[in-house]
Amino acid sequence: MTFEEHLPAVCDSSCPVRKTASIIEGKWTTLIIRDLLGGEKRFSELLRSLDGISPKVLTERLKFLEQRNLVFRTVYPVVPPKTEYRLTEMGEGLKDVIIAMSLFGQNL
């Protein structure tokens, strides 16, 4: 049976592609995950890497990813406080999506 034949005929809320889309379809979301695949990063590092994102949107996206258990935030009790973000085990599960996006993007 091919992948296509395995897909549910109708793309409703039970469809696994739709479940993933509901997480990654926001602008910047996959790019934040891409950045964190390289390891823990500070907010300022993400802001520098994601050329064009605003601090407001980065904050919103990180909060969303934290709520969905894909990103874990650690606040280090130093002065000034240091906050770092890393992928959870579940977040790491998106690596294959990012790899497939990277391969496709090489031909664009």
**Residue 1 touches its own copies, criterion: CB under 8 A:** no
How many residues of this chain bind its own copies (CB under 8 A)? 51
**Residue 37 touches its own copies, criterion: CB under 8 A:** yes
**Residue 57 touches its own copies, criterion: CB under 8 A:** no
**85 burial type by CB count under 10 A (0-12 exposed, 13-18 middle, 19+ buried):** buried
Q: How many CA atoms lie within 13 A of 3 on its CB side?
A: 2
Euclidean distance between CA atoms 23 and 71, whole angstroms: 12
Positions touching its own copies (CB under 8 A) are 3-5, 7, 9-13, 15-21, 23-31, 34-35, 37-39, 48-51, 90, 93-108
